[in-house]
Structure 1
Amino acid sequence: MSKHQSIFSPRYFALSIGIILSVMAVGFEGLAVTTIAPSIAADLNGIDLFGWIFSTYLLAQIIGTLVVGRIIDRQGPAIPFTFALLLFVVGLIVAATASDMYMMIGARAMQGLGAGAMMTCVYTAISLSYPDELRAKILGAFGTAYVLPSMLGPYVAGIIAEQWSWRFVFWGILPILILSALLSLPAFRKLRAQGVQAENGATATWMAILLTIGTGIFLVGLGMLPTITGIILSIVGLALMGYPLRKLLPKGTLTLRRGMPAILATRGLFFAAYVSTQNFLVLALIDVKKMTPDQAGLIVASAALSWCVFAYLQGRWDTADQGLGRNKRIMLGVLLLTIGIVVVLWIPIVTTAVAVIGQIIAGIGMGLAHPTSGAVSFAQSGEDGAGKTSANLQFADSFTPGVVIGIGGAILVVSQVAGLSMQSGLIVTMGFHLLLVIMSLFASTRIKQAT
């Protein structure tokens, strides 16, 4: 590869821009809904169904992610990407025209299916279209495209909802998706399946559905803790989740086996710890430290900024050392994320300056570890197939954080029932995140170097 070649050279330009726009659209939509959800629930008289605006999206995303990965390895990504894009578009239109909460929840299910499948197709296109030397760079741009909406998305969505209507947020995403399709679909149609013999598609589908049902029961149970019903539902949900997880993930993922299983375990743990920390840090800043929502948003945005900068830098370093330093960058990234969580762990000492410092350090860690773990996964994915590896990466980025956020919420509920303050409950929750990222740091030592 020419040293002057880049992800924006003529050969890759249209696909790179199309991928970036796809990721930005999905990222903006997800973050925007966080901001406008209270308005949606109020307008549609569905406050009692508020949580399902998010849970439905997560649960549907599991199916979209895991099922399409197996289809890609048999048929290639073009047709699945087209259907995923259409499903996401239909979900946006239904949401924009929803007349009640049940219609909105159905729309979110379509969006979740489409988003999970779209991102899996995007990961596959990266694996099949870019040489190993460029993957770290496009994955860095991928991460930047997903993170940048976190800096503007909630604010823009809030302005739109306040000045016009929350419905315009969904309409506004459509042009971005159409432009993405025009740029990326021609390149997607040139990609072919690798001829990998994927596992039985029907079996994978049923496993994904069983996992979705189990996760749904588990999340419902967590929301009802510490009642007996909540405990029973949580245990039943966990039991139902165990078998499909073992079948759908590479063998040894849950035991941190060296190689690909360790990569996915590392990524799932550190990404979940990061995302959940962000959510509960905002809660701590607003409810405990009495900051305004816009102040809390700006503090969290500092992590997005440092993530973007170091996602770009890791691509340059990857080129300089020809990928030989990837494992060290993952370990360093997870270590920095650990430090970032430690900085904000003890809520009483968290001031604006402390929170910003912690967020910047955590963002640097994510900028190093997140795109690099993707590059290492694709470098070792030969026998599994790009589609399955892509599904595994997207699964780590969506399923694990959703479950961890649910557990964090349950910790707060149980803490309050036990008579502890919100501050104490948040400290315990942050401690749980710290435990996860320490586990990720250990798992990162078991990632073998690709040869």
Structure 2
Amino acid sequence: MSSATSSGATNGRRDGILSPAYLATTVGMFGLIGFVAFEAMAVTTVMPSVARDLDGFRLYALSFAAPLASGVVGMVGAGMWSDRAGPRAPLLISMVLFSLGLLTCGTTPSMEVLIAGRVLQGLGGGALVVALYVVVGLVYPSLLQPAIFASFAAAWVLPALFGPGLAAVVASAFGWRWVFTGTILLVLVALMLIAPALRRMKPHPQGTTTPLSRLGWACVAAVGVLALALLGADSGLAWGGAVGALLLVFLALARLLPAGTLIGGRGLPAVVATRGLLSAGFFCAEAHIVFVLQDRWDLSVGQAGVALTLVGLVWALSSQVQSRLGTRITHERAMHAGTTVVLVGIVTLFVAVAFQVAGSELSPVLPIAAYVLAGAGMGFAYPRTSVAMLAESTDRDRGLNSSALSVADSLGAALALSVAGVAFAAAERGGIDPFLAVYAFTCAIAVLGVLIASRTRP
């Protein structure tokens, strides 16, 4: 136990997370979470411009899948390292990797180098979040931990509200490269704020040892997702390699997720599968929403980014609604209702794109409204997957199940984005509108999500 924890336990009732004892640490940690969230949202806004400048539309989907896939490796690795030796070293290394990834993306000469930067960015970002959660347990007394975690939630929400607009302004005034490199100095400032708390932490006692096989399977899954996207974008013999990579990803998932998850087994496996399918369908649609609004409706970066801001608002409001309903709606009904709303939103988005491709002059309000509707469904169902998972866990497997939920979340979205990239490239070669192919695929995922959500009752 750290000195901060032991001393804070006695005065935690009068000291808040913004009291002098914790102010710098709280602001620094809030900033780090916010920077990870900002980069995730800002990149969605500027990536069409990036791909256009670097002639890299073939790797567009991979630019989103890469950090999600490598982030799983970072999460698992940082968790194991923190349990074994404490969070100080994992946190510092994760900040270096995250910053190096941003620098690589901001100075990239090609889309291929940008993908490498995104891998580093995801690896560092995933590890950073896990290490910060461990730091909270060591620095803050138990009375203050709910407050600091609530601040983390706000750090994720605020970039959704202001990130797209800020990214559009920065890209317009200074160029899209500054969306990446401009954050590096802020990461350094955050490190200076939390450094005193890290120095005060006592040496970590002998910790637990997690089997290295779990980290190995996380690496296999990440490599499989990246290989699938790269090989599937080509034609010919490369398709055989893509199929092999897909099988490899499913093999890794079978080792990382609870038994029965891949077939939607009733109860906990279905809860974890629902979380993965929600992320897969929605974030695949989100990665292409700014792209399609610019390409098919001729909106500017700032105008298209409004959709992302609205989704942040609606997601937060919908989450509050399901929270206030509490036990008046069962977890199963909440997840089923939310996945159904996501399905309606994505299907409407597909129909809007289809009519626009067919020559109808539809207002961009329709696809934006459809995407926002899907965000409302996410806000209603997404939090309940966490609550349902905890309700079906015990002291013996709560940590393992929490990890599985995060793995399903990230790898579900990464795998869907990789497959969407394959579909995009295949549609272009076949003379089919690529956005129709992508949104048809996301519709199929959303349908599967509704079916699996109906099996979440224990």
Above 0.5 in TM-score?
Answer: yes
1:263 aligns with 2:276: no
Deviation at 1:267, TM superposition (A): 0.8
| Structure 2 residue aligned with 1:114 | 124
Deviation at 1:275, TM superposition (A): 1.0
Q: Give the CA RMSD over aligned residues.
A: 4.3
Deviation at 1:244, TM superposition (A): 2.0
| Structure 2 residue aligned with 1:408 | 420
Amino acid at match of 2:406: Q
Equivalent pair of 1:335/1:441 in contact (CA under 8 Å): no
| Structure 2 residue aligned with 1:366 | 378
Deviation at 1:213, TM superposition (A): 2.3
Deviation at 1:315, TM superposition (A): 4.8
| Structure 2 residue aligned with 1:337 | 342
| Shift in alpha-carbon separation, 1:204–1:102, aligned structure 2, 3 A | same
Give unmatched runs, 5+ long, in structure 2.
Answer: 1-12, 357-361
What pairs up with 1:177-188 in 2 under 5 angstroms?
177-178=187-188, 180-181=190-191, 186=197
Amino acid at match of 1:21: G
| Structure 1 residue aligned with 2:304 | 296
Equivalent pair of 1:336/1:364 in contact (CA under 8 Å): yes
Per-residue CA distance 1:72-118 (angstroms, 9 max, x = gap): 44445444233322322343345555677776554433222111112
| Shift in alpha-carbon separation, 1:254–1:431, aligned structure 2, 3 A | same
Per-residue CA distance 1:414-442 (angstroms, 9 max, x = gap): 34444434565355234324324324423
What pairs up with 1:113-132 in 2 under 5 angstroms?
113-122=123-132
1:91 aligns with 2:101: yes
Per-residue CA distance 1:355-410 (angstroms, 9 max, x = gap): 34433432222222223323444553632363x45543432332211221222233
Deviation at 1:175, TM superposition (A): 4.7
How many Å separate the matches in 2 of 1:25 and 1:218?
Answer: 29
Give unmatched runs, 5+ long, in structure 1.
Answer: none
Judge which range, 24-33 or 325-334, deviates more.
325-334
| Structure 2 residue aligned with 1:239 | 247
| Structure 1 residue aligned with 2:315 | 307
Deviation at 1:26, TM superposition (A): 0.8
Amino acid at match of 2:343: T
Deviation at 1:294, TM superposition (A): 3.4
| Structure 2 residue aligned with 1:174 | 184
Equivalent pair of 2:226/2:418 in contact (CA under 8 Å): no
Equivalent pair of 1:78/1:189 in contact (CA under 8 Å): no
Which residue of the other structure, out of 50, 53, 78, is the alignment partner of 1:68?
78
Equivalent pair of 2:69/2:222 in contact (CA under 8 Å): yes
* Alignment: residue pair count: 434
How many Å separate the matches in 2 of 1:275 and 1:102?
Answer: 22
- Where 1:228 maps in the other structure, the secondary structure is coil
1:81 aligns with 2:91: yes
Amino acid at match of 2:275: R
Deviation at 1:193, TM superposition (A): 9.4
Which residue of the other structure, out of 380, 397, 404, is the alignment partner of 1:384?
397
Aligned identity (percent) is 25
How many Å separate the matches in 2 of 1:155 and 1:240?
Answer: 39
| Structure 2 residue aligned with 1:438 | 450
Equivalent pair of 1:139/1:375 in contact (CA under 8 Å): no
Amino acid at match of 1:295: Q
| Shift in alpha-carbon separation, 1:138–1:274, aligned structure 2, 3 A | farther
| Shift in alpha-carbon separation, 1:424–1:398, aligned structure 2, 3 A | closer
| Structure 2 residue aligned with 1:425 | 437
| Shift in alpha-carbon separation, 1:426–1:390, aligned structure 2, 3 A | closer
| Structure 2 residue aligned with 1:145 | 155
Which residue of the other structure, out of 233, 247, 258, is the alignment partner of 1:250?
258
In the superposition, the TM-score normalised over structure 2's length comes to: 0.76
Equivalent pair of 2:161/2:309 in contact (CA under 8 Å): yes
| Shift in alpha-carbon separation, 1:324–1:254, aligned structure 2, 3 A | same
- Where 2:269 maps in the other structure, the secondary structure is helix
Equivalent pair of 2:27/2:193 in contact (CA under 8 Å): yes
What pairs up with 1:313-332 in 2 under 5 angstroms?
313-315=321-323, 326-332=331-337
Equivalent pair of 2:164/2:306 in contact (CA under 8 Å): no
Per-residue CA distance 1:240-266 (angstroms, 9 max, x = gap): 223222222222221333444333211
